[in-house]
Amino acid sequence: MLRRLLAVALLALTGCKKEQPAPAAPALAPAEVTLEGAYHAVACGAVTAVFSGNADALKDLTLDGLPPKSFGVEALSFRFADGSQKGFAPSGQLFFSDWRFDVFSPDCQWTALLVDHYGPYHLVKTADLQRYLAGQVRPVVVNARGPEASVLSDGAWRPDGAFEFFASCCGGARVLKATTTGEVSTLFEAPDAPQGLRRVRGGYEVVKPAAR
């Protein structure tokens, strides 16, 4: 009798035990990785941005101290989960100072690509990137607005998921913010910034000419 009561109690306890939820999958985020033969590589889930370049190209540059490693980039391609790799072909000309490693949004959902020295940026869902590179998907086109052509630079994703970039023209410079729907707003403007702008803690500042 006692054995039967213990068995019934054990069954009751087992029946009341709540199932533990499955552990959540780790959140995706851009991560630098090492790939043989790559100048630099950044992985976002199943997609990896593979930068080709040459560090020797930086030896003769004198730009406010050491130039960023991205100035040595010469080309960009993307490697996908199926093992394929597709190159990114800008529609215009990109100079050494136009390249940046910050192409993926913080959650890996979007990719930003500068297609010409004067813009625009193309914002593409990372899930659609392979088809975009094949010419099968239209991007969200982001550009500076104004009567004059601006040089676009320093594209970077913000923690809130918006994309930020600099637009320089006619001696001045602006910091612009774009949403992934293509809306563009101004965050900072300097009518006189012949040396450009830079990000600093808490905002932006005009780059001062180097002291002679």
Mean pLDDT for 32-51 is 96
Most confident of 19-23, 43-47, 52-56, 148-152: 43-47
Amino acid 78: pLDDT: 98
* pLDDT at residue 146 in the model: 73
Residue 115 domain-assigned (yes or no): yes
Quick check: 78 and 86 in contact, CB under 8 A? Answer: yes
Q: From the CB of residue 86, how many other CB atoms can be counted at a distance below 10 Å?
A: 15
Question: Is residue 45 assigned to a domain?
Answer: yes
**160 lies in which domain range?**
27-206
In a domain, 138, yes or no: yes
pLDDT beyond 60 at 1: no
HEC profile of 144-195: CCCCCCCEEEEEEECCCCCEEEEEEECCEEEEEEECCCCCEEEEEEECCCCC
Instruction: Give the tens place of pLDDT for each residue, 155-199.
Output: 999 999 999 999 999 999 999 999 999 999 999 999 999 989 999
Per-residue pLDDT averaged across 96-110, rounded? 96
pLDDT tens figures, 110-142:
999 999 999 999 999 999 999 999 999 999 999
> What does the pLDDT read at residue 3?
55
In a domain, 201, yes or no: yes
Q: Is residue 69 part of a domain?
A: yes
pLDDT band with cut points at 50, 70 and 90 for residue 10:
very low
For the chain, give the mean pLDDT.
87
* Contacting residues for 108 by C-beta, under 8 A, at least 6 apart: 28, 29, 30, 44, 45, 47, 126
Give the count of domains, the chain: 1
Contact 200, 208 (CB under 8 A): no
- Decide if 15 is inside a domain: no
Cα gap 206→192, rounded to integer Å: 8
Residue 8 located in a structural domain: no
**Residue 23's pLDDT is what?**
53
In a domain, 175, yes or no: yes
- Direct distance between the N- and C-terminal alpha carbons of the chain, in angstroms, rounded to an integer: 99
**What digits encode the pLDDT tens for the residues 56-91?**
878 877 555 678 899 999 999 999 999 999 999 999
